[in-house]
Amino acid sequence: MKKVLVTGAYGFLGKYLIKELLDNGYSVVAFGRKKEELDKLKQENVETYVGDFCIKKDIVNASKNVDFIIHAGALSTVWGKRENFINTNVEGTKNVLYACKKNNIKRLVYVSSPSIYSGKVDRFDIDENDFDEENKLNYYIESKIMAEKEIHKTKNVPFVIIRPRGLFGIGDTSIIPRLIKANRKIGVPLFNNGKNIVDITCVENVALALRLALESKKAVGNTYNITNGEPREFKNILEELFKQINEPPKYLKISLNLMYGVSSTIEFIYKIFHIYKEPMITKYNICTLGYSQTLNIEKAKKDLKYIPKMTLSEGIKKYAEDYKRNKVL
């Protein structure tokens, strides 16, 4: 039985990934810093290892006698200290790469981010090579680009890079909960009447893609965009979501250029005064909510044989049913 070590094991994606691996005959080592969270994952064929991939010896020891590593752990937020993003997302990834070489890992699958494509512009059908290597819209984006560069320049580590867009599903603590909370308070910010086209992805489909990245012979050394392959207008997605959860949608129609300027000013003030709490709005938030961005996933379909197993509407319905049962954001 092939063994996979998963960093970020008790995160939103990590839990779905572990289930996908177990369901398809893999054994799993769940790796993370919080023992109490790892204990929740214990089940047949799941080992746990309490450690921090920012500490080289931890990830080296955890990955002994392991066939593959899926590095899904990261500091993933839109704001914070630059040094924290560099230490976790860059230096931590370098430690994972060292462990791969030390323990002769057969393949590393790295979970990167399509946020590296973000900017103050509409972008459609983006392929994997179409990004600005100097994109510094926020420190998270900068750190992900830097981490990818480290992977590419490391010799003798077979790797695959996956860039999944806008994950959502049961257990999501980011996208949908924020939209619901905004709707209840002041309304969901709506730019250009919500006609911007967006790609989002059921988390189950991302877990599938990561497993396929372990298995495809063509995948080694390549990078893949992953989405549901169903780009839709932002307002259209919102209408479906709020209909499914039986809550009337409320929108806050505002000027895109004005809000980008406001967010720029807020970020400037936060940096000047070294405020590390996340601002109410950031330039990245405005770019995500206000501009179209769709990804080309043809390469993943061809090389990984990736076919999404859950449609966007199925994912929204599944989330809504759980939400109505539990009313948990």
Does the CA dihedral 231-237-241-246 come out positive or negative? negative
What's residue 328's pLDDT? 60
Paired tokens of 225: 């965009």
Contacts of the segment 83-88: beta carbons below 8 A, 24+ positions apart = 85/139, 85/140, 85/142, 85/143, 86/139, 86/143, 86/146, 87/54, 88/54, 88/143
Does the CA dihedral 187-189-193-196 come out positive or negative? negative
**Domain 3-167+201-227+293-309: top CATH class:** alpha beta
What's residue 262's pLDDT? 95
Listed by start position, the domains of the chain span 3-167+201-227+293-309
Q: 217, exposed or middle or buried, with CB in 10 Å at 0-12, 13-18, 19+?
A: exposed
pTM of the prediction? 0.96
Task: Report the distance separating Cα 237 and Cα 294, nearest Å.
Answer: 14
Task: Report the distance separating Cα 155 and Cα 280, nearest Å.
Answer: 42
Walk across the sheet containing 197-198 and list its strands. 123-126, 293-295, 197-198, 232-233
Q: Which residue is it, tokens 């990590």?
A: 14
Per-residue pLDDT of the chain (329 residues; tens, 9 = 90+): 899 999 999 999 999 999 999 999 999 999 999 999 999 988 777 999 999 999 999 999 999 999 999 999 999 999 999 999 999 999 999 999 999 999 999 999 999 999 999 999 999 999 999 999 999 999 999 999 999 999 999 999 999 999 999 999 999 988 999 999 999 999 999 999 999 999 999 999 999 999 999 999 999 999 999 999 999 999 999 999 999 999 999 999 999 999 999 999 999 999 999 999 999 899 999 999 999 999 999 999 999 999 999 999 999 999 999 999 987 65
What's residue 42's pLDDT? 83
What's residue 231's pLDDT? 98
